[in-house]
């Protein structure tokens, strides 16, 4: 039997490890700790697991909630979405959190965490003008992110992976 606070403590540890200083470098003062605190308190048990549309709506709501938690005049949508995607990827990779919250049910819906290294790798695999120019994390918008995510889904399918796992390959190859 595990202590009652085991999953709470483990979730905080995963939030801090998944979203470290290099993940949100240059995004503004306080963004890193605010993102880590937000993710540590995210209710993993409330993630919709019944269909992809409900999950995508939940992910969009959480991105907005994280933006609201940041004490910035600018609203770096790309940084917030990257932090959530890194965290969800690492909760999936954590055996205890994944099993306890049944996160394998959402594996095929998880996005690849976007940053310049991942965007470079995706663009390398794309045809000319298939993807828009990478605007940088601070200026990344949902429509541009969606184009990269659709492309990533196709690339992952060709490689026999789920989209979330592309991060391991693309980030390592292009950092």
Q: What would the two tokens of residue 166 be?
A: 């592309």
Q: What would the two tokens of residue 75 be?
A: 């609203």
Q: What would the two tokens of residue 125 be?
A: 């695999």
Is pTM, for the whole model, over 0.85?
A: yes
Asked if 77 and 67 touch (Cβ cutoff 8 Å), the reply is yes
Query: What's the pLDDT at 81?
Result: 97
Residue among 172, 152, 174, 171 nearest 162 (CA): 152
Give the contacts of 97 (CB within 8 A, at least 6 positions apart): 7, 10, 11, 14, 44, 91, 103
Q: What would the two tokens of residue 131 be?
A: 């993807």
Asked if 72 and 28 touch (Cβ cutoff 8 Å), the reply is yes
Q: CA Rg, the chain, in Å?
A: 16
* In the chain, where the domains are located: 6-107, 116-174
Give the containing element (helix H, strand E) for 138: none
Asked if 11 and 40 touch (Cβ cutoff 8 Å), the reply is yes
Half-sphere exposure of 69 (CA within 13 A, CB side): 21
| Cα dihedral 56/83/110/118 (nearest 10) | 120
Length of the chain: 175
For the chain (175 residues), the mean pLDDT of every run of 10, in chain order, is 86 97 84 94 96 97 94 84 98 97 98 95 86 94 97 96 94 80
Query: What's the pLDDT at 146?
Result: 97
Query: What's the pLDDT at 1?
Result: 62
């Amino acid at each position: 039997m595990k202590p009652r606070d085991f999953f709470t403590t483990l979730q905080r540890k995963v939030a801090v490890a998944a979203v470290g200083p290099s993940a949100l470098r240059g995004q503004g003062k306080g963004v890193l700790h605010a993102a880590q605190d937000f993710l540590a308190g995210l209710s993993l048990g409330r993630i919709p697991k019944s269909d992809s549309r409900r999950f995508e709506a939940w992910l969009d709501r959480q991105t907005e909630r994280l933006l609201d938690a940041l004490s910035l005049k600018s609203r770096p949508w790309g940084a917030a979405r990257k932090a959530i995607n890194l965290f969800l990827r690492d909760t999936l990779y954590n055996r205890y959190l994944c099993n306890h919250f049944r996160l394998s049910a959402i594996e095929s819906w998880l996005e690849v965490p976007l940053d310049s290294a991942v965007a470079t790798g995706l663009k390398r695999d794309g045809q000319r003008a298939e993807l828009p120019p990478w605007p940088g994390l601070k200026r990344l918008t949902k429509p541009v992110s969606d184009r990269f995510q659709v492309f990533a889904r196709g690339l992952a399918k060709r490689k026999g992976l789920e989209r979330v796992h592309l991060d391991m390959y693309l980030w390592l190859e292009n950092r």
